[in-house]
Amino acid sequence: MAKILLEMKNITKTFPGVKVLSDVNLQVEEGEIHALVGENGAGKSTLMNVLSGIYSYGSYEGDIIYDGQICEFHDISDSEHKGIVIIHQELAMVPYMTIAENMYLGNEKGKKYAIDWNETYGEADKYLKTVGLTESSHTLIKDISVGKQQLVEIAKALAKRARLLILDEPTASLNEDDSKALLELLLKFKKEGMTSIIISHKLNEIAYVADKITILRDGQTIETLDRKVDDISEDRIIKGMVGRELVDRFPKRHDVTIGEMAMEVEHWNAYHPLYSDRKVVSDVSFHVRKGEVLGICGLMGAGRTELAMSIFGKSYGANISGTVRIHGEEVNLSSVKDAIKHKLAYVTEDRKGNGLILGNPIKINTTLSNLKAISRRTIIDKDKEFGVAQEYRDKLKTKCSSVEQNVGNLSGGNQQKVLLAKWMFAEPDILILDEPTRGIDVGAKYEIYCIINRLAAEGKSVIMISSELPEVLGMSDRIYIMNEGRMVGEIDAEEATQEKIMACILKSDKYSDGTEKAPLERAEQQKGE
């Protein structure tokens, strides 16, 4: 029988007004990959924050038994000293420092007042090789992709002599290839004896790597599934997470009425804000109608977000050109204020960085985009502000103790609802939703989908950008496909399949004779346009 490396017994954690963990139990065997799943707000990240000492001993009830000893972690350095290292969903990297400097920040090599740089870079290169990175440790973090930054975080954990590696949504921002590479790395570490705990909403990835799966719901342990004896299919995991079988992942739309033209974009171009010779959006044209859900898909780096942000008040890009018509009238969207005035809204993919003010309550975040509606002579009416926030809380079924609660204390799914409420309150006719379900669970996703359908039924035009092809296929009336800053295809949803979409992307990477363009040739072609 395998050794129990970690046992968390009867863990209870309470924040003011809400109990987020209630008698949670978790057992992890040495050398296994153990998945922790549950809906947003189930308590997964909170449990791992207790384990890693972010929530210090004394701020919770229950026991942590690690390697046979009861542990009292007062901060993260205490848990790291025992070999427990956590990698959070939001990567903690300093862009203008080198890989090696990031890896040993706070864990410097050398004597008390002098860093040994030869040892630092030498050790860093060794660990980079272990995780499969060929970059020099002298490379600046800003010059490598998000997928590679994730691997640097793992190398950093190895440099701390990790025995138990905790990964919170490690593939949330990665493309399919980078995600697969990371999962294979975890399987490799497992063979070498390392123990991992992985939190993820991507159930297909969980089913691929996990030996055991513990399901949390409403802050309680529901069950632990063992690959050797239990069904660990996606449907079975979902049933444990939501307490019922989810027959349809995407809600049905009834009496779909697609009306007149709402917005037309023609010959749209945008360049990188720093590298003025790099074209990120190239001669893009598309349109959306009233009551339509328009999907825009493509691989990571296809230019979808750059397109959306450059249209929305030119909030991204340089040397932007092209035409935008809303309800048949050409409009000038030179600022976010102009975009809002013309009833256009953009729900960012980065809700924590660009969408919400995490240190402010729900009521303030909800009303930010339309302050004049709750103000009298530039003075905010606090009663109106509270009433509006309460109305949208009820309408979107946001789980919170009160609209006075800080947004930063909500789960990802509920933060996303607040972000949607913020832009719905602006009363737009056209909403651009950029990765609206990134990092949220299947139950919360379904609720977001219902909101999207309701907006379309009200005659709103919804442009949904998503990296998840099943989501695009399940929700869209019509689909545009982007690749390398261009629109390379348009398909009606009834005819669309994942295979057709991928074939369209791959075809756009080839010359007319079928031979594939080299990446450098594609970049030079794009640069010269």
* Per-residue model confidence (pLDDT) at position 247: 61
Query: Are 370 and 413 in a shared domain?
Result: yes
**Is residue 119 located within the same domain as residue 170?**
yes
- Classify residue 138 by its DSSP letter: T
Burial of 117 (0-12, 13-18, 19+ CB in 10 A): middle
- With respect to residue 313, please indicate whether it lies within any of the assigned structural domains: yes
In a domain, 97, yes or no: yes
User: For residue 516, what are the contacts with CB-CB under 8 A and spacing of at least 6?
Assistant: 509, 510
pLDDT for the residue numbered 447: 87
Say if residue 311 is in the same domain as residue 404: no
CA–CA gap between residue 436 and residue 416 (Å, rounded):
7
132 shares its domain with 219: yes
Q: In which order are the strands placed within the sheet that holds 61-66? A: 18-29, 4-15, 61-66, 69-71
- Name the nearest CA neighbour of 42 among 389, 345, 444: 444
Same domain assignment for residues 422 and 446 = no
Burial 42-69 (b: 16+ CB within 10 A, else e): bbbbbbbbbbbbbbeeeebeeebebeee
Q: In this structure, is residue 251 part of a structural domain?
A: no
How far, in Å, CA of 152 to CA of 102, rounded? 9
Can you give the pTM of this predicted structure?
0.67
494: Cα within 13 Å, side-chain hemisphere: 0
Range of the domain at 490: 257-343+428-529
| Helix (H) or strand (E) segment spanning residue 486 | strand 486-492
- CB-based contact 215:241 (threshold 8 Å): yes
- The CATH number given to whatever domain includes residue 17 is 3.40.50.300
Domain for residue 461, yes or no? Answer: yes
Cβ neighbours, 10 Å, residue 394: 9
Residues 333 and 281 in one domain: yes
Neighbours of 77 (CB within 10 A): 11
Q: Do β-strands 344-347 and 430-434 pair in parallel, antiparallel, or remain unpaired?
A: parallel
**Lookup: tokens for 1:** 């029988």
Q: Does 394 share its domain with 466?
A: no
pLDDT at 60: 94
The mean of the pLDDT values for the chain is 88
Domain count, the chain: 3
Task: Name the token pair of 309.
Answer: 């942000």
Residues 478 and 421 in one domain: no
Please give the Cα distance from 354 to 384 (Å, whole number): 25
- Distance of alpha carbon 170 from alpha carbon 36, whole angstroms: 13
At which of 395, 427, 459 does a domain end?
427
DSSP state of 20: E
Residue 371 domain-assigned (yes or no)? yes
Q: Say if CB 28 and CB 164 are below 8 A apart.
A: yes
Last residue of a domain, which of 427, 447, 475?
A: 427
Q: What are the per-10-residue average pLDDT scores of the chain (529 residues)? A: 89 83 94 88 88 93 94 92 86 87 88 86 91 90 84 88 89 76 90 92 88 91 92 85 71 85 97 87 96 89 91 94 96 95 92 89 94 91 95 90 90 88 94 87 83 93 90 93 92 88 72 42 43
Are 435 and 421 in a shared domain? no
pLDDT given at position 246: 60
Residue the block writes with tokens 């990698």: 87
Out of 427, 444, 459, pick the residue that ends a domain.
427
Q: Is residue 77 part of a domain?
A: yes
Tell me what pLDDT residue 332 has. Answer: 95
Whole-angstrom distance, CA of residue 421 vs CA of residue 425:
6
Are residues 157 and 289 part of one domain? no
Q: Find out whether 403 and 410 touch, Cβ atoms under 8 Å.
A: no
Same domain flag for 302 and 446: yes
In a domain, 365, yes or no: yes
User: What is the dihedral sign for C-alpha 110, 113, 114, 115?
Assistant: positive
Asked whether the beta carbons of 158 and 77 are under 8 A apart, the reply is: no
Q: Are residues 40 and 66 in the same domain?
A: yes
